[in-house]
Structure 1
C-alpha cells in the first residue's frame, strides 16, 4: 500500500452544510428502516395467517413468520461485507444509494406477494427471498449512514452529531408503526385481504425521495483524506480482520443487549400482547409514543456522551435492560393502558436509548478510517444475526414451550449480561494499557 500523501486537504463543512448533511442522514436512514421494520409488525400479526398453510396453529404460523424475520438478519452480514467493501474502496455515498435502492424494491414487491391460498408453498419462499434482499440492504445501511455523519462532525461534538443517525433509525420505526396502526383502522376483513399491503406499496415513493436526498449529500471528509493519502486496501475486509480482531469482537458483544432486547420489545411484544389478550391498539400506541419521545432523548444522550464519555451511558443501558426484563412482561400482563405505556417507555425510551444513542461514536472509534466501514459491518451485522435476528424466534419458541414469560425474561437477562461483561472487559483492558502512563481511553 502506498503512503503517498496528496497536498489536497478536504475542507471542513460549514454549519449550514453540516445541518444539511444531518437532515439527509436522518431522512435517508428513516426511510430505509421504515421498510425494514414493517416486516416485524406484519410477521407478528399477519404473515403467519396468510403465508402458511390453512389450519396451522397461530403460534406455529407466527414462528414461521419470525423464521423469515431471522433470515433477513442472516443476510445482513453479507450485505455489510459487500457494501462495506464499496464504501471503504470507493466512498460511503455510493454504497448508501445502492442499499436504499435494494431495500425500496424488495419492500414494494412484498406488498404485491400472493398468499399461500393463491400459490401454495411459493408464498413463504418468496417472503423469505424478499426478506433476504431487505437484509442485504440493511446490512450495508447502518455503517455507511453512521460514517457520513461521524466522519464529517467536529471531534468535540461527535456524540451529539452522530446520535442524529440513530434518530433516523427510530424515526423509521415510528413511521412504520404509524403506517401499520393506520391501516389497522380498516375493517378486519379489508385489513387482512389488502390493507396490510398499503404500507409496503408506499415504499416506492419513499425510494424516490430517499435516492434524491442521498445523491445530494457530500462525501465523508475523513474518507476523502484517506483517499488523498492513498490509504486504501484491495481487500478492506481481510485487513480489518487482521488489524482489529479484538475490536470486532467488542462491537459484537456490545451489540447483543441493544439489538436482541430491542427486537423482543418491538416485534415479539406484539405477538405476546395478542397471546395474553392485551389490546393490540394500546400496545401499538404505546410503541409509537415510546419512540416519539425517544427522538429528542437520543440527541440529549449523544450530547451528554461528549461530556462524560460513552462507557457509563452504555453500561447504564445494559444494566437497565437486565433490571427491566421481568417487569416489562408483568406490566403487559396487567393489561391496563397505563401499565402498557410504562412497559414500552421503560424498554424503548430508557434501556434502548442509553445504548443506541452512543453506539455510532463508540463503534466508529474502534477502527481506522480506511477499514472502518468493514469493521462496523462485521461487528454490527454479524452480531445482529445472533441477537436481533433470533430473539423474536427464540422468545416465541419459549412462549410456546412454557406458556409463560419468565423464560423470555431470563433470556433478556442473558443478553444484557453479555454486554455488561463486554463493557467490563473493555474497561479492564483500557486500564491495563493506561497503567502508569495515561488515563483509560474512551
Structure 2
C-alpha cells in the first residue's frame, strides 16, 4: 500500500482498489464482530431479565432469582475492564488484526457453551458457578472487541467522512440486538415449559455461526494503516498501558464521561426496562423484546446519520444533542411505560432506546479513537469503553432492582437515574475538545491540541455526490 493510501489523514480514496477492498473488509469485519458482541449482550440481558433466575437459581424465588440473574449479568461487565487492559495492550503492541481474531473467538465460544450448561435443578450450585465462569470469559473477550473494532474502522476510514464510515460497523450492534430481541419475542410465544426445558439453549448455540463468519473475514483483513505507520517509524509503545495512565488520564476521564449516558441508557432500556414492564407492570413477556427490536431498527438508520452529521457539525455537538434527548425523555418515558398500555409501552421504549442512545453512539464511533494518540489508542479506547461499561452499564440493572425494592416498585427513581447519567454525559460534551478530522498518526491526545492545530484540520465532510465524483477521496 502506498504512503498516500495508508496515512489516515491523507485524502485516501476508494479509487485505489487495494484500499477500497480493505475498507470493505474492515467494515464487514467490524460489523460482524459488533453484531456478535451485542447479540451476546442483548441475549444474556434478556435471559437474565426473563428466565435465568428460574433456571439457575430456582431455590431463591422470583425476586431474589431475578437479582441473582442480574448479578451474573454484572459479572460479565466486571470482567470486561480486565479483558480491555489485556487485549488493549496487545493491540497497541502487536497490532489490531490478531487481537480482534482472539477476542471474537473467546467471546463467541463462551456464549455457545452457555447453551449446553446444566441447570440448577440438574446439578445444583455448580450450575450458577459454571454460568459465572463462562460469563467472565465472555466479558474478557468483549472487553477489547468493540474497542478494537472502533479503532480499526476509524484508522481505515477516509478522514473527512470518518464519522460516517466509523458508524457503519455499529449498525452491527443494532443487528445483533434485533436478532436477540426477535429470538426472545418468538420464545415468548412458545409454551413456557418448552422454553425452560430446552428451547432457551438454541439462541446461545446459534452464536457459533457468527463466530465462524467473523473469524473468516478477519483472517483476510490487512492490518490497520495507522499501526503499519507505527511499525515503519518504530514508534510502537513498549508499555502502552502505563503510557495511557501516565499521559492520558484526563482524556480517559472525559471518555468515560461521554459513555455514561450512552452505555448506561442502553443497558437500562434493554434489560431494566424490559424487566420492569414484565415483572412490575405485568405485561406479556413478548412486549419488551419487541420494543427493543423496533428500537434497534430505528438505530440502524440513526447511527450512520448521526455519524455523518458529526462529520459536518462536529462530534461533540451531535453527542450533546443525543444526551439532551435522553434526558428530556426520561420522566415521560418511564411514566408512560408504567401505564401498562401496549400501545404506549412498545413505541415509547422503542423510541427512547432507538433515538437518544443511538444519536450518542453514532457520534462516539469516531470521537473516541480521535481522542487518543496512536501509540496507546487501542488501550485508551478499551479503558474508556470498559471502565464506563462497569460504572454505567454493568451495574445499572442491579441498581435499578435495588431502587425498585427500596421505593415499592416506583418508576420515579428509575427515571431519575437516567437523568443523572444523561447530565453527566452532557457535561462531558462541554469539557471535551472537538476531535473531528483529527490526524490519527499523531502521538499526542486531542486534549493537547492547540487552536492552530484544530483550525488546520481538513474542512467538514463533502457531500456523498462530491465524494463519489472525487473518486472516493475523503
TM-score (norm 1): 0.93
On the 8 A contact 2:46/2:271 being kept in 1, the answer is yes
Distance in 2, matches of 1:348 and 1:121, equals 36
Show the counterpart of 1:426.
Answer: 432
Structural mapping, 1:113-262, within 5 Å: 113-262=117-266
Question: How far apart, in 2, do the equivalents of 1:291 and 1:266 lie?
Answer: 10
Gaps of 5+ in 1: 1-6
**In the alignment, is the contact (CA less than 8 A) between 1:263 and 1:392 conserved in 2?**
yes
Equivalent of 2:348, from 343, 353, 361? 343
Does structure 1 residue 74 correspond to structure 2 residue 48? no
1:317-336 counterparts in 2 under 5 A? 317-336=322-341
Counterpart-to-counterpart distance in 2, 1:8 and 1:319 = 42
Aligned residues: 435
- Could you say which residue in structure 2 is the equivalent of 1:416? 422
Distance 1:435 1:139, change over 3 A: closer
Aligned counterpart for 1:48 among listed residues 53, 61, 76: 53
User: Where does residue 391 of structure 1 map in the other structure?
Assistant: 396
**Conserved? CA contact 1:184–1:195, under 8 Å:** no
Shift of residue 265, structure 1, vs aligned partner: 0.4
Extract unaligned runs of 5+ from structure 2.
Answer: 7-11, 13-17, 435-445, 461-474
Provide, for residues 131-190 of structure 1, a one-character-per-residue CA deviation record: whole Å limited to 9, x for no partner. Answer: 111110110101111111110111101000000121112211112112222233321110
The answer (yes or no) to whether the contact 1:264–1:392 under 8 Å persists in 2 is yes
Contact 1:92 1:219 (C-alpha < 8 Å) held by counterparts? yes
| Deviations 1:210-251 (CA, angstroms, capped at 9, x unpaired) | 211221122111111111111112211101111211101100
Q: Which of the residues 286, 290, 300 maps onto 1:285?
A: 290
Distance, in Å, in 1 between the alignment partners of 2:344 and 2:207 is 34
Q: Which residue of 1 aligns with 2:25?
A: 20
Structure 2 CA distance, aligned partners of 1:120 and 1:415? 38
- What corresponds to 2:67 in structure 1? 63
Closer, same or farther in 2 for the Cα pair 1:144/1:404, shift >3 Å? same
Query: C-alpha displacement at 1:32, in angstroms?
Result: 3.0
1:19 and 1:100 map into 2 onto residues whose CA distance is 19
Tell me if structure 1 keeps the 8 A contact 2:111–2:204. Answer: yes
**Maintained 8 Å contact 1:28/1:214:** no
Tell me the distance in 2 between the aligned counterparts of 1:63 and 1:97. Answer: 34
Q: TM-score, length-normalised on structure 2?
A: 0.87
What is the CA distance between 1:427 and its match in structure 2? 5.7
- Alignment partners' CA distance in 1, 2:267 and 2:456: 33
Aligned to 2:391, what secondary structure does the other structure show? helix
Q: Is the 8 A contact 2:337 2:348 kept in 1?
A: yes
CA distance in 2, matches of 1:438, 1:245: 21
Contact conserved, 1:239 with 1:371, CA < 8 A, in 2? yes
Question: CA RMSD of the aligned region, Å?
Answer: 2.4
Contact map agreement 1:36 1:138 (CA 8 A) in 2 = no
On the 8 A contact 1:10/1:224 being kept in 2, the answer is: no
Counterpart Cα distance in 2 of 1:346 and 1:9: 42
